[in-house]
Structures are given as C-alpha cells and as structure tokens.
Amino acid sequence: MNVFNLVRKALYSVPEIKWGVSDYENSFLVLKWGENQYQPSRKLLTSISKSLSTINKYPTLQSTLKVKIANYAQVDQSECLLSGADRAFRIISETFIEKDDEIIIFEPTFPIFEKCVLIMSGKVRKIPLDKSFKIPSVTKISRSITKRTKIICLCNPNNPTGNFIATTAQIENLLKLDLIIVVDEVYFEFSNQTCLRLLKKYSNLIIIRSFSKTFGLAGLRVGYILSSREIISYLSRVELSIAPFDIPTPSLAGAIAALDNIEITKQNIKQINRAKVNLTSKLKKMGLKVYTSATSFLLISTRSFGIKSKEFIQLMENSKIILKDVSIYSGLSEYESYMAIPNKNDIPRLVNAIKKIISTKTKPLH
Ligand SMILES: Cc1ncc(COP(=O)(O)O)c(C=O)c1O
C-alpha cells in the first residue's frame, strides 16, 4: 500500500526533527531542554498527589485554574484560554492558517510554530535577527508582509538566544500593522518584563505563557493564552470543540497549587537568576562567550577556543553532561551550545567539565 500518496502534501515539507534521546541514567546532568532544575516543593507534590484520587473522572478544575490565572495576570477570564505552550501554537495555526497563508518569524527561534503552520499548509517567512539577536525595524519587517501574511510571531525572550528580541514599543508598532501578533512569554517571570499592558489597547495581540519553566512544572504540560475576548473565543472553538479535557487533573491541580504558593516560585526564580549570574561570570572568566539571558538557559560560544559545538557537546557527554545541539535551529553558528542553568550544587561539576575540555585547547584566540 502506498501511504505516501495518501498523506497530506503539506507534510512533505515538514522535515523530521531529531530531538534525540530524552531519558538518561540518574548520573547524567541533563541540561538540553532548559528545564527548571529544582524539584517541585512538597506543597505542590501534596496537591498533585491528592488530585490523583479523582483521576477516574474527567478533569473538573479548569475554571478554578482560569480564575486564578485571570487574577494572577490581571485580565478578565474571557481573555484567557488554558493550553500548554507548545499546544498553543497548534491552536493558533488551526484557528488562522489556511492553505498558502503566511506567517513571519525571526531566526533563530523556537521551531514549533513554524512546524504547526507548515502542517496547516501555510508558509513561513523567516527574517534573521541582527548580530545582537534583535528584530529589525518595523519598516524592514513590513517588506516581508504580503497579502497572505496573517501572523507575526516572536518569542520574547527568545529560545535559543535567551534575550529579549523586541521592546514593548516595537511590539506596539507591530500591532499597528493590523496582523495577529503572537508573543511567546514562556520565560516571563525570570525578568517580569511583559507586553501584557498592550492587551488593553489592541485586540490583535496573543500572549503565550507556561507553567513549565518559571514554575518548574514542565512534566505537567500546562500553560495559558492571553488575548482579546474575540480571539480567545475563536481559539476556544478550536480547542474546546476537540479537546475539552486536554489538561489532565494532576496538571490542573499542580498549576493551581503553584499559583496558591507563588512565594515558592519567586524564591526559586531568585535562585535560578543567582545561579545564572554566578555561572555566567565563571564561564566568561574561562574565556567563553556567554550571551545575555532572561531565561532558564544560557547560549554560549566556544569559537574563541576553536571548538565546534558538535565536538563540545560530545566531549561534555563523556562527562555525563548533556547540552543541546542547536544545529536544529537555523541562524546560529556551528560554535554555539545551549545549556539549562543547573541548580547551584551542580555548577562546579559543569564548570569543571568545561575547564577540562578547554584546558586541552589553545588559549582563547581574541
Ligand atoms: C520559547 C518557547 N516557547 C514555548 C516552549 C514550550 O513550552 P512548554 O513546554 O510549556 O509547552 C518552549 C520550551 O522550551 C520555549 O522555549
């Protein structure tokens, strides 16, 4: 049977992404996903465990969580939809993208939205970020807008570069273009910098947030979308018609407990930000280039030692430390590598492994 001929043609242009192995022995330090490296608090675990006694029933905590998110983000409930962040890209594509509709993204960036759009038979225009990983002027961006352009999407802060690629003023200028502007803010709480205030003024803004990173709940796959009442109602038609119970009970319970105990998350963020400053300074002292990060990960360059990231990642793996191969992102050089901020007890292990590698190479070239 020839399956190939039956598959939707759009899938032919969706390259298979090789995310690689995801489960390692306990002795490995896995820093490839930018995860929050601190274990969830006892309070959170207790709430999640308690919720397990009701998993014979469909989830019922959606509205409780929505009320808490609306309160946390200071929006109306009608301006919020529960959805994991990855899934949000899918819902947005299914809501807006028809065959040959176009979106604009800035490279290098998180690859999921592009794939969602291609699967919907849409087209993706990629505009490179400048050397400091910032978006170009709105005038330049406008040159890539065609009659078919519907969405401009930016991750702010961006993955894999870690920085803010646009200011709120630039986002406001993009909103004036009368397209849908999607702003991924899954790392928002690491800096508390957000374009949320624009939601009051513009009905074409969509913000994606997540409990994965700052709240340290990546395994629960829960997040939310903030937008105008009108957009949320269309997104809800897609999501709630097909998957009304998509977020499992333990995930809803975990997110509720996280918001009820926000102080724990705030402490955790402080710890990660402190570890980030500490690690950044150690890596810079060794002669490595470290890019500014407002996220839970760092992007570094081993160019000054002439070590390509493929080799670097392989050598780190010999020390049982797993970093991300960023060659899946177009727009970075072959010398960049990505690592989650380890918890503070693991920083010496990471630093020593890197020291061992660079000590075998010549001194920095600059
Ligand atoms: C920029 C960005 N957006 C979205 C996601 C996906 O978030 P989630 O795991 O909450 O679905 C990630 C995960 O790494 C990310 O870096």
pLDDT tens digit string along 22-59? 788 888 999 999 999 999 999 999 999 999 999 999 99
Here the tokens at position 64 are: 């409780």
Confidence (pLDDT) at 316: 96
Pairing relation of β-strands 336-340 and 289-290?
A: unpaired
Candidates 31, 186, 225: which one to mutate for ligand 1, based on the most atoms within 8 Å of Cβ? 186
| More confident: 325 or 202 | 202
Q: Collect all residues with Cβ–Cβ distance below 8 Å to 50 and sequence separation of at least 6.
A: 253
Q: Which atom of ligand 1 is nearest to the CA of 155?
A: 1
Confidence (pLDDT) at 362: 65
Q: pLDDT per residue over 81-104, tens digit each?
A: 999 999 999 999 999 999 999 999
Alpha carbon 77 to its chain's center = 23
Q: Collect all residues with Cβ–Cβ distance below 8 Å to 102 and sequence separation of at least 6.
A: 122, 123, 124, 125, 146, 148, 149, 150
Q: Which atom of ligand 1 is nearest to the CA of 222?
A: 10
**Whose Cα sits closest to atom 8 in ligand 1?**
85
Confidence (pLDDT) at 102: 98
Q: What is the mean pLDDT of the chain?
A: 95
Q: Which atom of ligand 1 is nearest to the CA of 210?
A: 10
**Ligand 1 centroid to 86 CA: how many Å?**
6
**What is the CATH code of the structural domain delimited by 42-260?**
3.40.640.10
Confidence (pLDDT) at 20: 74
pLDDT band at 363 (very low <50, low <70, confident <90, very high): low
Confidence (pLDDT) at 364: 58
Return the closest-CA partner of residue 336 out of 361, 313, 356: 313
**Ligand 1 centroid to 300 CA: how many Å?**
20
Say whether pLDDT at 226 is over 60.
yes
Confidence (pLDDT) at 37: 94
What end-to-end distance do the CA atoms of the chain give, in Å? 59
165 lines ligand 1 (CB under 6 A): no
| Domain limits, CATH 3.90.1150.10, in the chain | 20-38+263-359
Q: For 177, which DSSP code?
A: T
In this predicted structure, which of 93-107, 321-335, 336-350 has the lowest mean pLDDT? 321-335
Here the tokens at position 32 are: 């490839």
Counting residues of the chain whose pLDDT is more than 70, the rounded percentage is 98
Q: How many CA atoms lie within 13 A of 193 on its CB side?
A: 16
The three-state secondary structure class of 168 is helix
Here the tokens at position 23 are: 């489960």
> What is the total residue count of the chain?
366
DSSP letter string, 139-161 = HHHHTT--TTEEEEEEESS-TTT
| Domain limits, CATH 3.40.640.10, in the chain | 42-260
* Fold topology of 20-38+263-359: Aspartate Aminotransferase, domain 1 (3.90.1150)
